[in-house]
Amino acid sequence: MRSLFRVLLPALMLLVAAAPAHAAQGGGDLLSPSYGLMFWTLIIFAILFVVLSKFAFGPITKAVEAREKALEDAIEGAKRDREAAAALVAEQRREIETARQEAQRIIADARQAAERVRTDLLDQAQTEQQALLERARLEIQQERDRAIHELRREAVDLAIAGATRVIEQNLDSQNNRRIVESFLASVPSIGTSSR
């Protein structure tokens, strides 16, 4: 910039110095040509043009071109970014759809597993119920047999006691018991006749 002023300053001083001389010659009329003024104006214009083209127009043109290139690059980058964003959105949608399908599959599998567990639990409960009923029947049968056995023993004891009083003699208790038990064994039992 300083070199521009160094070149232009003398040319402007020359033009300012020539202006009063031109006015003294009667060149105050704007329509009358003054060749000296025109010559110096052209010289200054040429010098100014050369200086501006060397120091100003080149950098200005380069700056404008760089700016245009930066804008074009920015536009291209924005297009690429937009396309990349669209691709990412499409990918995200595909992933969301895949996740949704996976979630539905997991829910369906969980329902099937729950149904299997429910069926297994029902089967197990029925099996346990049958086992408990069978055990209860067996215990009832055992208790009935035990009660019958107790009743027989009581009946034998009562029969021996009654026979002893009737006969009024004291028989051998062991022999009497054996006789009564063999008699009761030959008689059909209450449990087998009711079956």
| Interval 47-75: pLDDT, tens | 888 888 888 888 888 889 999 999 999 99
Q: 142 and 67 in one domain? A: no
Are residues 97 and 43 part of one domain? yes
User: Mean pLDDT over all residues of the chain?
Assistant: 80
Burial of 133 (0-12, 13-18, 19+ CB in 10 A): exposed
Q: Does one domain contain both 100 and 142?
A: no
Shared domain check, 143 and 56: no
Residues 97 and 149 in one domain: no
In the three-class reduction of DSSP (H, G, I as helix; E, B as strand; rest coil), residue 6 is classed as helix
Residues 42 and 93 in one domain: yes
Q: How many residues does the chain have?
A: 195
Query: In the prediction, which pLDDT does 51 show?
Result: 84
Q: Do 93 and 142 share a domain, yes or no? A: no
Residue 97 and residue 146 share a domain: no
Q: Are both 142 and 189 inside the same structural domain?
A: yes
Mean pLDDT of 16-27: 55
**39 and 99 within one domain:** yes
Q: What is the mean pLDDT of residues 154-176?
A: 68
Pick the more confident residue, 29 or 176: 176
Q: How many angstroms separate the CA atoms of 185 and 155, rounded? A: 13
Look at residue 88 in the predicted model and tell me its pLDDT: 94
Q: Domain limits at 178?
A: 138-194
Q: Is residue 145 part of a domain?
A: yes
- Cα separation of 92 and 85, whole Å? 10
* Residue 184 pLDDT greater than 80, yes or no: no
Q: In this structure, what DSSP letter does residue 195 have?
A: -
What's the confidence (pLDDT) of residue 179? 74
| Number of alpha carbons in the 13 Å side-chain half-sphere of residue 180 | 20
Using the predicted structure, report yes or no on whether residue 162 has a pLDDT greater than 90. no
- How many domains would you assign to the chain? 2
Rg (CA), the chain: 66
Q: How does DSSP classify residue 54?
A: I
Statement: residue 76 has pLDDT above 60: yes
- Is pTM beyond 0.75 here? no
